[in-house]
Amino acid sequence: MFLFRRREQRLTVGEARARTSGDRPEAVLLDVREKSEWRAGHASGAVHAPLTGLTAGAALPEEAQGRPLAVICRSGHRSRQAARILAARGAQVKDVEGGMNAWAAAGFPVVDERGNSGLIA
């Protein structure tokens, strides 16, 4: 239960990447941006669940259900909203500070919907 080891409810992009990558990641990186943003560029290995759907009550994608979540958006605003919604549903969740802008600025991989080099839209 990594998400509640520390008092703060946010992760840096470095912490998020460390906890959501590798052979046996301890959490799922959940991207809550809209479909066009996701298609343009997202973190490799992330799972997509737009905030608009979560707000409307949509279920999490199967690969994110019952797992600790690191929620990311473009800058960190929508991920905070999504984290509150998901926490209210009982999820173990933290949002990622700085979002995909910080992810890309840190030099972490961003891919488009085809797996090619992507952009943050």
Question: Token digits for 119?
Answer: 């952009």
- Closest CA relative to residue 15, chosen from 26, 7, 24: 26
Catalytic residues: 73
| CA atoms of 9 and 80, how far apart (whole Å) | 9
User: 3-state DSSP call for residue 19?
Assistant: helix
